[in-house]
Structure 1
Amino acid sequence: MLSTGLPQMSVPKLERPGPLRERVYEALLELITTRALHPGQHLVESELAGHLGVSRQPVREALQRLNTEGWVDLRPAQGAFVHEPTEGEADQLLTVRTLLEAEAARLAALNAGEEGVEALFAIVEEGRTAVAADDVARAVALNAAFHAKVMELAGNAVLAELAAQVDRRVRWYYTPVARLRGGTSWSEHSDLAFAIKEGDAERAGRLMREHTERTRRSYRHRNES
């Protein structure tokens, strides 16, 4: 068993064409975001390189970049470790997310067309299927897709750019509470989709604010029995 804790064959070999440094960075960031590499985990360059089918140099460069961005902690004489977010970090980011997404939902209700609304409902059905199958990874991905679609329907490029900056960290924090939120989260998504369909901007904004606040509270209390 590798000390990185990744299941054998869980990480595909990277394709050689293209900027390898960037591809290694994206692969490691995805593994961290999905918690395949969990907070506090020791990251061994040689083992990560073996998983990804590359030399240690692009892995080292990716870890340095991830350290700069706050995803990895480089500790003198110890090595690299996945960053362990503090409660304060998570609370602050999820609070900002609430503000951004409530406004996006309000704007989506004013701007969304029939095709966009249908896409929202399609994601909701897929999400419910993932929850029923206890497919947490799929549920997390679909949750991100739903919120991204709402942001797209809002039609505000600046708002979308700001949301994109926090999207991956939101996924990082949502993963450990996805099973806890379960079907309730998708019922809330459905209510929100109906509000957008009906063009009720005030209700859509309120529902999104309540929805994201519930996720924030779930994260804060995730370890309580």
Structure 2
Amino acid sequence: MALSETSTEAGSRRIARPVPLRESVYSAILEMIVSRSLQPGQHLVESELALMLGVSRQPVREALQWLKNDGWVDLRPGLGAFVHTPTVEEADQLLAVRSLLETESARLAATRATEEGVARLRELCDRGRDALAAEDVTTLVELNAELHREVMKMSGNDVLVELAGQVDRRVRWYYTPVARHRGEQSWIEHAALIDAIAAGDAARAGEVMSAHTEHTRRSYLEHRDDADDAAPALRGRVH
């Protein structure tokens, strides 16, 4: 048998390598940050994270460095690692970009919608209302993200999908603290968006999505302002 044939056969049978431990640790810590299990500003102690994740401190240290490089963690000399606290400007800029991407995706989705796609969106919307009634914030945030991803995929624009994927985690991060506050209104807006997509009304779909993402942006900024106003009082009680 020729060497080239042998190489081809071997390549087709190549065993997938396991994900390096530091990558698994990175993903685990990042998910805790995005879900707000680890809050902005929270001190990240290597030994505690290592114990929680069942690993040594080395992969935790490496993961924290990666998270710092990606803007999720701040490393302060002499103090250690802390979950990054986004500035108002950071959040405002990202949510503004998200609005542009999703408004265009909704407009395109309305021109390419299928019965199956619309049915999937309605299913997610129904499940979102159920999660809201159950006050299940974790599921609510996941379903919100999934519904937006489905609209994005329905647009048929691979570049939009890729760009949206790059901001997806940060959008979830910002949305989690306002999910309950946005409440039923958010899902009323989702239903109106789905109706516009189902009707093939691109202008209306874009208009609804633009207003929807703007409401979320304002809710986040208002929530941030409320938290900032409450902080001095809380600090006073601690001292």
**TM-score normalised by L of structure 1:** 0.91
Q: 2:71 aligns to what SS in structure 1?
A: coil
- Structure 1 residues 20-52: Cα deviation after superposition (integer angstroms, max 9, x where no partner): 111111111100000000000000011101111
- Equivalence for 1:26: 27
Q: Distance in 2 between matches of 1:118 and 1:89?
A: 35
Residue segments in structure 2 that go unaligned for 5+ positions in a row: 1-17, 230-239
- Equivalence for 1:212: 213
**TM-score normalised by L of structure 2:** 0.86
- Equivalence for 1:75: 76
Q: How far did residue 99 of structure 1 move?
A: 0.2
- Equivalence for 1:10: none
Q: 2:81 aligns to what SS in structure 1?
A: strand
Amino acid at match of 2:130: T
- Equivalence for 1:185: 186
Percent identity between matched residues is 65
Hey, which bits of structure 1, 4+ residues long, moved more than 4 A? none
Q: How far did residue 112 of structure 1 move?
A: 1.7
Amino acid at match of 2:38: L
Q: Distance in 2 between matches of 1:123 and 1:198?
A: 18
Amino acid at match of 2:61: R
Are residue 102 (structure 1) and residue 103 (structure 2) matched? Answer: yes
CA RMSD in angstroms comes to 1.0
- Equivalence for 1:59: 60
Q: How far did residue 18 of structure 1 move?
A: 3.1
Paired residue total: 209
Amino acid at match of 1:179: R
Amino acid at match of 1:52: L
Q: 2:101 aligns to what SS in structure 1?
A: helix
Q: Distance in 2 between matches of 1:178 and 1:221?
A: 13
Q: How far did residue 19 of structure 1 move?
A: 2.0
Q: Distance in 1 between matches of 2:81 and 2:72?
A: 10
Rg larger for:
2
Q: Distance in 2 between matches of 1:210 and 1:188?
A: 9
Q: Distance in 1 between matches of 2:102 and 2:191?
A: 16
Are residue 124 (structure 1) and residue 106 (structure 2) matched? Answer: no
Residue segments in structure 1 that go unaligned for 5+ positions in a row: 1-16
